[in-house]
């Protein structure tokens, strides 16, 4: 556990994580009426989380030099990337209800990354391995944003079917369905493109490429999400069918790295390469 050390880097990591959790807690606690007065809480948490991720992943001040990574930092990085998109998008588009959920998820991810910092990796198995990891995490973030928009898309559809809420939706509160649908698929397409590059790099440049659980689940997730884009283009998939494919594909990708690493690091108490 990372708190067992008392090095300056460890204290800085703990302090950054604490600031992030507190700021996210404030952002999740305030209601919409007071959100404008405390609108800096979420950006402060985002910056503090970035600092915690930098200290954690870089392994600064650790016993073993080199990068350090695991399932919890991967989840934290994914939440951080989703929040980055949200902070930009929310300045131009209404995203009702997303702030509280994202703040709670990010706070939980910060705590998880502090408790389970992952394992040290003094050297990469390939010069291209860091780019492979970065692309993989970027695809996680893009699919996370797509899932966020899909959830709001489903919520807006339910509201339209609800006669009591239809007037609120039609009056302009919230984002129009077509825009939510378009943004969802744009993020899915971007995520598939980035994930494709990550898989190709892993297959072509990593000398220890093997068909383990992580690889198999990643490829299955890629097939499901590519199938979603094909189904939309060819068969005109929309609504619940499309979002179910998205949720299933995203779940496969979550299991591919974070899930398999959780089993290895926490349940089996051993490390794994890659």
Residue 118, by phi and psi: left (phi above 0), alpha (psi -120 to 50) or beta? Answer: left
Question: How many domains would you assign to the chain?
Answer: 2
Q: How far apart are CA 131 and CA 127, in angstroms?
A: 8
Convert the pLDDT of each residue in 220-269 to its tens digit.
Answer: 999 999 999 999 989 888 888 899 999 999 999 988 877 767 776 666 66
Boundary of a domain, candidates 97, 123, 149 = 123
Whether residue 69 is found in the same domain as residue 86 = yes
Give the contacts of 174 (CB within 8 A, at least 6 positions apart). 94, 96, 152, 156, 159, 168
Residue in 92, 197, 192 with CA at minimum distance from that of residue 142: 192
Does one domain contain both 92 and 136?
A: no
DSSP designation for 121: E
Asked if residue 121 has pLDDT above 70, the reply is no
- 48-75 pLDDT tens trace: 999 998 888 776 655 555 566 778 888 8
Do you know the residue count of the chain? 274
DSSP 188-217: HHHHHHHHHHHHHHHHHH-TT----HHHHH
The answer to whether residues 160 and 255 belong to one domain is yes
Are 2 and 99 in a shared domain? yes
Domain that holds residue 241: 124-274
Cβ distance 213 to 136 under 8 Å?
no
| β-bridge partners, 119 | 69
Q: Is the distance from CB of 106 to CB of 83 less than 8 angstroms?
A: yes
User: Does residue 133 share a domain with residue 100?
Assistant: no
**Can you give the pLDDT at residue 171?**
45
């Amino acid at each position: 556990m990372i708190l067992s050390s008392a090095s300056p880097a460890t204290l800085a990591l703990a302090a950054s994580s604490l600031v992030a959790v507190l700021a996210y807690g404030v952002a999740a606690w305030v209601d919409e009426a007071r959100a404008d007065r405390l609108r800096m809480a979420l950006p402060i948490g985002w910056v503090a989380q970035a600092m915690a991720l930098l200290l954690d992943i870089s392994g600064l001040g650790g016993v073993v030099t080199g990068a350090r990574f695991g399932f919890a930092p991967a989840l934290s990085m994914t939440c951080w990337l989703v929040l980055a998109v949200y902070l930009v998008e929310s300045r131009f588009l209404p995203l009702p209800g997303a702030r509280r959920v994202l703040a709670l998820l990010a706070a939980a991810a910060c705590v998880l990354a502090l408790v389970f910092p992952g394992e040290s990796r003094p050297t990469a198995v390939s010069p291209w391995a860091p780019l492979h990891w970065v692309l993989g995490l970027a695809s996680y973030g893009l699919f996370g944003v797509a899932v966020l928009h899909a959830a709001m898309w489903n919520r807006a559809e339910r509201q339209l079917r609800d006669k009591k809420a239809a007037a609120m939706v039609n009056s302009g509160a919230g984002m129009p369905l077509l825009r939510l649908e378009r943004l969802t698929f744009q993020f899915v397409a971007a995520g598939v493109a980035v994930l494709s590059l990550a898989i190709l790099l892993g297959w072509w440049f990593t000398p220890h490429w093997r068909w383990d659980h992580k690889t198999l689940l990643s490829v299955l997730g890629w097939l499901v999400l590519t199938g979603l884009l094909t189904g939309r283009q060819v068969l005109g998939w929309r609504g619940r069918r499309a979002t179910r494919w998205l949720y299933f594909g995203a779940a496969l990708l979550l299991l591919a790295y974070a899930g398999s690493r959780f089993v290895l690091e926490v349940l089996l108490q051993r490390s794994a390469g890659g």
